[in-house]
């Protein structure tokens, strides 16, 4: 195969200029604002860009010291508790290829080079949206803590068992405080769906720590809308607040269930809904790998220019008990 020819070099120069000046600043914005859950988390400040560290480690409250009542000069015996443990999350990496062939270059008219690259970048954005916002390797995935090839997603954090498995390499079995909530609609939504959604919200709440996101399938969201609009009176609690307006302006239909934003997401797996608090559940993204497009390089044995959109991060939870899973709410 011939070396780096003049046409390829020219395209490489144009692509580099476009990458540095046009593409990189907007790639992650375009990916994260085209997915309901990612957009909502971004609006709430629950997507955190951070620098380098070996792993994402967080101090977790393990147990409270025991408070006792006493009278007058009664002896108070100090007992040292063991209040803290640590959750550890590993960096996960996702890559999407962008490859332009020599034939693509030959067939592109003079002055249309930017249009050629734009088309490939748009498809890469869609791919990254489907990946990071999806249930295979993205934020809805069932991938575990130590598997490096995908995000430890909502299916992993809020499983169908509250007493097995690990999150942040902490065991639900051995730590009772490290267990999420679970409600199973089981039968048709119109018989007990609203009641169990309310029960789940209540169980995920403690004092002022209440869920602010309730993401479900579109089927569950439609079931909720059917039930809550049966009578005029039940419409009153559904008044739109500021957060809802932002979602609607971005094109995502939604409402509120008590204090949480309730919306459907295409990435949410069938018969699942997730209720959680973004005070504790956040997506951490590595700066320098925030859906950035790498250098275009000519392959050794191909007539092409190839690069990758690279992303690194992890979905981290610091209070598993303040979130939970709603099962089997898709059937009306």
Instruction: Write out pLDDT tens, residues 176-187.
Output: 999 999 999 998
Q: Is 170 left (phi over 0), alpha (psi -120 to 50) or beta?
A: beta
Distance CA 317, CA 140 (A): 14
pLDDT recorded at residue 285: 97
- In whole numbers, what is the pLDDT of the chain averaged over residues? 91
pLDDT category, 190, cuts 50, 70, 90?
A: very high
Distance CA 218, CA 195 (A): 19
pLDDT recorded at residue 16: 86
88-114 core/surface letters (b: 16 or more CB in 10 A; e: else): bbebbbbebebebebebbeebeeeebe
Q: Per-residue pLDDT for 195 more than 50?
A: yes
% of the chain at pLDDT higher than 70: 93
pTM of the model: 0.91
Q: Per-residue pLDDT for 65 more than 70?
A: yes
pLDDT recorded at residue 231: 55
pLDDT recorded at residue 149: 95
pLDDT category, 194, cuts 50, 70, 90?
A: very high
- Residue 308 pairs in a beta bridge with 97
For the ranges 10-19, 95-104, 121-130, 281-290, the lowest mean pLDDT is seen at 10-19
Instruction: Write out pLDDT tens, residues 70-110.
Output: 999 999 998 888 889 999 999 999 999 999 999 999 999 98
pLDDT category, 131, cuts 50, 70, 90?
A: very high
pLDDT recorded at residue 233: 46
Distance CA 291, CA 307 (A): 12
**251-to-225, 244, 263 alpha-carbon distances in Å:** 17, 11, 11
Q: Name the residue among 151, 143, 121, 154 with its Cα closest to residue 31.
A: 121
What would the mean pLDDT of 307-323 be, rounded to a whole number? 97
pLDDT recorded at residue 268: 98
Q: Per-residue pLDDT for 234 more than 70?
A: no
Most confident of 11-25, 32-46, 58-72, 315-329: 315-329
pLDDT recorded at residue 19: 81
198, two tokens: 């309310």
- Sole residue written with tokens 């629950």: 46
% of the chain at pLDDT higher than 90: 73
Q: Per-residue pLDDT for 237 more than 80?
A: no
DSSP code per residue over 37-64: HHHHHHHTT-EEEE---SSEEEEEE--P
pLDDT category, 240, cuts 50, 70, 90?
A: very low
What would the mean pLDDT of 42-55 be, rounded to a whole number? 94
293, two tokens: 């497009």
Distance CA 281, CA 156 (A): 13
pLDDT recorded at residue 235: 46
Distance CA 60, CA 317 (A): 10
């Amino acid at each position: 195969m011939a070396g780096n020819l003049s046409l390829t070099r020219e395209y490489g120069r144009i692509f580099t200029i476009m990458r540095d000046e046009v593409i990189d600043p907007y790639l992650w914005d375009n990916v994260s604002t085209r997915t309901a859950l990612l957009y909502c988390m971004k609006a709430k400040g629950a997507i955190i860009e951070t620098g380098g560290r070996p792993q994402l480690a967080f101090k977790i409250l393990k147990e409270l010291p025991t408070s006792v009542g006493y009278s007058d000069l009664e002896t108070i015996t100090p007992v040292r508790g063991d209040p803290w443990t640590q959750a550890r999350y590993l960096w996960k990496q996702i890559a999407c290829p962008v490859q332009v062939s020599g034939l693509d270059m030959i067939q592109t008219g003079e002055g249309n080079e930017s249009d050629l690259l734009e088309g490939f970048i748009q498809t890469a954005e869609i791919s990254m949206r489907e990946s990071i916002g999806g249930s295979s390797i993205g934020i809805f995935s069932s991938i575990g803590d130590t598997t490096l090839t995908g995000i430890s997603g909502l299916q992993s954090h809020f499983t169908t068992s509250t007493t097995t498995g690990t999150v942040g390499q902490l065991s639900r079995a051995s730590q009772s405080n490290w267990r999420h909530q679970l409600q199973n609609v089981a039968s048709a939504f119109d018989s007990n769906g609203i009641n169990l959604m309310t029960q789940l919200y209540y169980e995920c709440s403690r004092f002022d720590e209440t869920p602010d996101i309730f993401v479900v399938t579109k089927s569950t969201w439609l079931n909720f809308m059917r039930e809550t609009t049966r009578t005029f009176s039940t419409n009153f609690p559904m008044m739109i607040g500021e957060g809802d307006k932002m979602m609607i302006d971005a094109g995502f239909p939604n409402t509120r269930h008590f204090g949480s934003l309730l919306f459907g997401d295409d990435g949410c797996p069938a018969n699942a809904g997730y209720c959680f608090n973004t005070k504790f559940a956040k997506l951490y993204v590595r700066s320098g790998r925030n859906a950035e497009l790498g250098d275009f390089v000519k392959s050794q044995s191909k007539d092409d220019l190839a690069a990758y959109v690279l992303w690194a991060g992890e979905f981290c939870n610091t209070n598993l008990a303040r979130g939970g899973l709603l099962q089997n709410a898709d059937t009306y």
